[in-house]
Amino acid sequence: MKIKIGHLYGNLMNTYGDNGNLLMLQYYAREKGVTVETEIISLEQPFDPNEYDLVFFGGGQDYEQYIVSLDIKEKAEQIKQYIEQDGVLLAICGGFQMLGHYYVDATGKRIEGIGVLDHYTLNQENNRFIGNITIKNEETGETYHGFENHNGRTFLGEGVKPLGIVQEGKGNNNEDQTEGAHYKNVFCSYFHGPLLVRNQHLAERIVELAIANRQKKNLIA
């Protein structure tokens, strides 16, 4: 069996080694006997929601995020379709922010997101959330460890669950104890480092969801 991974803006969005998450996804898929094909979808390239079994969207600096924010609007409907048909997606930091309604960057500029997830992000003046972080996923009981470094303060809407509840660290906004987001088969987080290197159980779950979706597609075909 083969799964195909789509790497959204992989040539622009790779802050703090976020692409390590992609390497971990590839590794665990191969450990399960699955062949992996990976393709970057970047500026002025179409996104086909039926083409991919797993999508990764990393973080970027404000300049790169602004460039991506202009282009991703053209892909918004297709990304929404992918998500709503249970496509598996992992988004980190800037990728997480852009899936929401909007984010305010460090200079105070509001950047429109694509609104495929119900959240928004505000900035902080002369401050960042930096340090080790531990969260607990209330659905699975799993604990995730990582490192956060972000200016943004993200607030989730009613239709989106957090990836976990903060045990140590700041999380999405240092107010409501949430970290990241989970909607259908979409997983979002501010963890850099990257997230999946320290949290094998989450990496395996994401890969297993992608494999299950591919198996369903093969049966239909």
Question: Could you give the CA distance from residue 143 to residue 69 in angstroms, rounded to a whole number?
Answer: 32
What one-letter code names the amino acid at 85? Q
**Active-site residue list:** 93, 192
pLDDT above 70 (res 175): yes
pLDDT above 70 (res 122): yes
Task: Supply the pLDDT for residue 63.
Answer: 86
Question: Could you give the CA distance from residue 10 to residue 18 in angstroms, rounded to a whole number?
Answer: 10
Q: Mind giving me the DSSP string for 5-43?
A: EEEETTTT--GGGTHHHHHHHHHHHHHTT-EEEEEEE-T
Contact 55, 78 (CB under 8 A): no
Residues contacting 23, CB < 8 A, separation 6+: none
Task: Supply the pLDDT for residue 150.
Answer: 94
Contact 198, 151 (CB under 8 A): no
Task: Supply the pLDDT for residue 214.
Answer: 92
Q: What is the CATH code of the structural domain delimited by 2-220?
A: 3.40.50.880
Backbone angles phi, psi at 49, to 5 degrees: -65, -15
pLDDT class of 193 with cuts at 50, 70, 90: confident
Question: Could you give the CA distance from residue 221 to residue 217 in angstroms, rounded to a whole number?
Answer: 6
Task: Supply the pLDDT for residue 177.
Answer: 98
Task: Supply the pLDDT for residue 17.
Answer: 78
Percent of the chain exceeding pLDDT 90 equals 85
State mean pLDDT over 193-209: 94
State mean pLDDT over 159-167: 97
Contact 161, 181 (CB under 8 A): yes
Opening angle at CA 163, ends 71 and 95, nearest 5: 15
Task: Supply the pLDDT for residue 145.
Answer: 96
DSSP assignment, residue 161?
B
Task: Supply the pLDDT for residue 19.
Answer: 86
Task: Supply the pLDDT for residue 60.
Answer: 84
Q: What is the dihedral of CA 112, 114, 119, 122, to 10 degrees?
A: -20
Round the average pLDDT of the chain to a whole number and report it.
94
Percent of the chain exceeding pLDDT 70 equals 99
Task: Supply the pLDDT for residue 217.
Answer: 82
Which bin fits 164, alpha (ψ -120 to 50), beta or left (φ > 0)? Answer: beta
Task: Supply the pLDDT for residue 221.
Answer: 57
Token pair in block for residue 157:
């809407």
Q: State the first-to-last Cα distance of the chain, in angstroms, to the nearest integer.
A: 14
pLDDT class of 137 with cuts at 50, 70, 90: very high
